[in-house]
Structure 1
Amino acid sequence: MAAPESHRLTRQILIAMVAGIVLGVGLNRLGAAPWLQMVVVDGLLQVVGSVFVAALKMMVVPLVFVSLVVGVTALSDLKALGRIGVKALALYLATTAIAVTIALALAGMIGPGQGFDAGQTAASFSGKAAPPLTQVLIDMVPSNPVAAMAEGNMLQIIVFALLFGVAVTMSGARGKHVLNFFGDLDVIIMHMVEWIMRLAPYGVFALITRTFATQGLDLLLPLAAYFLTLTAALAVQLLGTYPLLLRLLGSLNPLSFLKKMRDPAAFAFSTASSGATIPVTLRTVEFKMGVKNSIAAFTVPMGATINMDGTAMMQGVATVFIANVYGIDLSLTDYLLVVLTATLASVGTAAVPGVGLVTLTMVLGQVGLPVEGIALIIGVDRLLDMMRTTVNVTGDCAVTCIVAHSENALDQAVFDDPAAGSVEAATQRPILSHPAA
């Protein structure tokens, strides 16, 4: 049966995560022998985990490009494309602003960093300036679409795919031949995604085990207040903000949504990359939540690129933490600057692990805090990066469902069906007919 197999894969992924955390912490606490560290942790686990992430990334560009072309051509009204884009962008920026506001409020109440000894770490950090918003807008248009695909520049890929899809739609009979090709190619790519999904438990286990074997939990003690404050803020966004928006703006059941988020959440947590999770996120919103491909193929890649709610929360808490460590008081204007800067900094930043530290340099600079303070939080950033990526991906799915509902492009029966979304269903997407020219 399809549903049991889908649930079985989810259970296997969750079991792999838990087993990886337990084994990784155990290896770190006991102290692995040199040969075990070299052969298992830095050998087998690194190879398996790296190959798994590479396989996911391998599918991102072809999946996004092909799905977006097919999705655009499925829109009977091309004006809807602009409407969908405006809705998605507005919601993404709004949720990011809400996220960083929550983070600043919690950090202000808890006060992480007070009494912290800056000499507890000998780490150093060399900041790389984030690009200005004007440059991000200029860089959205690819001068070489092939190079954009080779480099995985998601914004440029989205722009080119949108233009290509519109051109196919307006090309009449000749465009229909191209659309049929892309429809067949879409099904083939989904088969490849299915293969990777079946290997997911092994990849997740390897990634989680190595992360916790390397990081351990001892690093959390000196930074417990910072870690717990950010964790609480992320939990409020994940379990409070998104469910509330789904209920108010989409009249959707938050519990059904959160249950169906298990697969993309597990992938996001283990890879710490919104970009690498795109194939799983697309599959989930389409086949488990009932969002039409014409919406999902646009909003999910867009969200993976510009929607960094969890990252913005880290920047808010880290700003307060560093200000407290250095004894610098932040004014209300400074807090507003952090909200604005963190929200805008999320646009155009790469959906890769650790990008939050890059954009944090811009946030700190806006309020006059020393960039060197980032060195204080580097030790625990990997674990927090995994959690905030989970929040980022959840935000992508929530906004996608809300936009789809507003466009009557969400199948309510599929969304409410707990058994929806089998692995086989993902490879049986019907080839869309060409809209009338």
Structure 2
Amino acid sequence: MKKLPLHVKIIIGLVLGIIWAFISSALGWNQFTIDWIDPFGQIFIRLLKFIAVPLVLFSIIDGVSGLNDTSKLGRMGAKTLGLYLVSTVTAITVGLLIVNFIAPGSHIDDAQRMKNRISYELWVQNTPGVEVKDGKNFLNDPAYADLVMEMSDGQELAAQQQTVEDKVALAKKQKEVPPLQFVVDMVPENIILSISDNKLMLQVIFFAIFFGITLAVVPNDKGAPVKNFISSINEVFLRMVDTIMAAAPFFVFALLAGVVAKMADSPAEVFQIFRGLGSYTITVLLGLGVMLFAFYPLVTSTFIKKISYKKFFKILSPAQFLAFSTSSSAATLPVTMECVEDGMGVSKNVSSFVLPIGATVNMDGTSLYLAIATVFLAQLHFVDLSLSQQLVIVLTATMGSIGTAAVPGASLVMLIIIIQTVGLNPAWIAIIFPVDRILDMTRTVANITGDATVATLIASSEGELRAED
């Protein structure tokens, strides 16, 4: 067992965790699992999160201050943002193509979809400033008079869960901010407060880059002690990552056991959840599969000959399985950096700059999911979104992914913003709640794989990629 590679041990832990959760639910041990096993999974996430921020801070300062040519930083920054933009737009486009081809929202009973449609039009009727997006009007169609009466008579529009209301309020607040507010928010008022809040990672990155550039131009006799101090601290945090990862298989077992145990009280309930949203789940997984098994490895192996298709996954698998377990790009960041540097051969200068930015602004899997979820919910309610409306989804998802926190569940807020932008009912997100957690785990894998791909391509273009295998 000791001789097995880390990624194999993580896979074993992951599979055993899922098996244990099903056994415990079948035997009525779910509460035991939640009380005595799941906490170790939460500890694992906390360990990774508390390391993530200082590791980002010191690794960026260490990498940037080591650049002899500061103009290289600007060039590398432009390439980073450009490639992240390309990968995000590609992911959204793949998502829209697949969801329009499969049309998962049309795979349920037409009678139920028509009820959903009438419910949508009633919502539009009672919501100021909103119009029916496809111009159709079933409320006034005599053929559906009885259904309209049934839906509106003696029934109020369903009261939504408090969770949905909270997220709608947060999304409304985000929509009202000025267009350049995200640039303002990048600049910290108090770096200590920014470091203490995982949601303010962009501010930490801004400070680290600014500090690193300044340290690079300070005369060497004054700057060398600080550089050595920063480099030493960075090595300590990297060693902490190694120590935590040695126990990762056990932690992953606990985390997955807890996740599945919390989803339902019996195996039948878990299967029921996925069967009800099966076509939607399959569509999202297919889209993510195209990015994971076609786009990223083929692009990497095409431009970097020493990294074959098989080697690509062998190198990144520890980070990918960890991303699946934690559902957090930020929590996975330390391991992603290790895989990219040790396996891909990317220099620390590049990885410490590109990957932290990617963990914050590059959300390929999330963007793809946002596109599919929006169109699926529209299809489910018999709403035909036009090409122009779907292009709005592309633009909104691209811009919104920059501000999506790299933590579990944050994408639901972004989904509400997109749904509202195209004039649909934000309360519909409650429909996809049951499978969001498992899809969140999967799309995080795409997020960190996209980050690693871009970091490797930039390292190659900058001559910062080790030539040897």
Q: Structure 2: how far apart are the matches of 1:249 and 1:134?
A: 35
Whether 1:181 aligns to 2:229 is yes
Whether 1:161 aligns to 2:154 is no
- What amino acid sits opposite 1:20 in the alignment? G
Whether 1:135 aligns to 2:181 is yes
Q: Structure 1: how far apart are the matches of 2:247 and 2:367?
A: 32
| Partner residue in 2 for 1:190 | 238
Contact 2:37 2:254 in 1 (8 A): yes
Distance 1:5 1:95, change over 3 A: farther
- What amino acid sits opposite 1:111 in the alignment? A
- What amino acid sits opposite 1:203 in the alignment? F
The alpha-carbon deviation at position 245 of structure 1 amounts to: 2.0
Whether 1:262 aligns to 2:323 is no
| Partner residue in 2 for 1:405 | 460
- What amino acid sits opposite 1:17 in the alignment? L
| Partner residue in 1 for 2:149 | none
Q: Structure 1: how far apart are the matches of 2:222 and 2:240?
A: 28
Whether 1:316 aligns to 2:375 is no
- The equivalent position to 1:335 in structure 2, one of 386, 390, 398, is 390
- The equivalent position to 1:207 in structure 2, one of 248, 252, 255, is 255
Deviations 1:296-350 (Å, cap 9, x if unpaired)?
0011111110111111111111111111111111111011111111111101221
- What amino acid sits opposite 2:185 in the alignment? D
Q: Structure 2: how far apart are the matches of 1:20 and 1:266?
A: 13
Worse-superposed segment, 390-399 or 182-191: 182-191
Contact 2:34 2:261 in 1 (8 A): no
Contact 2:24 2:33 in 1 (8 A): no
| Partner residue in 2 for 1:420 | none
- What amino acid sits opposite 1:274 in the alignment? S
| Partner residue in 1 for 2:10 | 13
- SS at structure 1 position matched to 2:105: coil
Whether 1:37 aligns to 2:30 is yes
| Partner residue in 1 for 2:131 | none
Worse-superposed segment, 106-115 or 125-134: 125-134
Deviations 1:102-130 (Å, cap 9, x if unpaired)?
11111101111123647999963222214
Contact 1:26 1:213 in 2 (8 A): no
Q: Structure 1: how far apart are the matches of 2:455 and 2:241?
A: 20
| Partner residue in 2 for 1:148 | 194
| Partner residue in 1 for 2:218 | 171
The alpha-carbon deviation at position 71 of structure 1 amounts to: 0.3
Q: Structure 2: how far apart are the matches of 1:362 and 1:105?
A: 21
- SS at structure 2 position matched to 1:275: helix
Q: Structure 2: how far apart are the matches of 1:412 and 1:18?
A: 36
Contact 1:68 1:158 in 2 (8 A): yes
The alpha-carbon deviation at position 27 of structure 1 amounts to: 2.9
For normalisation by structure 1, the TM-score amounts to: 0.89
Q: Structure 1: how far apart are the matches of 2:341 and 2:247?
A: 21
The alpha-carbon deviation at position 210 of structure 1 amounts to: 1.3
- The equivalent position to 1:217 in structure 2, one of 271, 278, 288, is 271
Number of residue equivalences: 406
Q: Structure 2: how far apart are the matches of 1:86 and 1:368?
A: 34
| Partner residue in 2 for 1:109 | 101
- Identical aligned residues as a percent: 38
Contact 1:155 1:348 in 2 (8 A): no
Deviations 1:206-240 (Å, cap 9, x if unpaired)?
01111122223321011001000000000001111
Contact 1:274 1:351 in 2 (8 A): yes
The alpha-carbon deviation at position 5 of structure 1 amounts to: 6.7
| Partner residue in 2 for 1:239 | 293
- What amino acid sits opposite 2:20 in the alignment? L
| Partner residue in 2 for 1:355 | 410
- SS at structure 1 position matched to 2:408: coil
| Partner residue in 1 for 2:352 | 297
Contact 1:285 1:296 in 2 (8 A): yes
- What amino acid sits opposite 1:37 in the alignment? N
| Partner residue in 2 for 1:49 | 41
The alpha-carbon deviation at position 164 of structure 1 amounts to: 0.7
- What amino acid sits opposite 1:296 in the alignment? S
The alpha-carbon deviation at position 202 of structure 1 amounts to: 1.1
Q: Structure 1: which 5+ residue stretches go unaligned?
A: 417-437
Q: Structure 2: which 5+ residue stretches go unaligned?
A: 117-157, 264-269
| Partner residue in 2 for 1:430 | none
- What amino acid sits opposite 2:364 in the alignment? D
- The equivalent position to 1:381 in structure 2, one of 428, 433, 436, is 436
Q: Structure 2: how far apart are the matches of 1:407 and 1:373?
A: 46
Contact 1:322 1:373 in 2 (8 A): yes
Q: Structure 1: how far apart are the matches of 2:303 and 2:71?
A: 22
The alpha-carbon deviation at position 54 of structure 1 amounts to: 0.5
Distance 1:200 1:161, change over 3 A: same
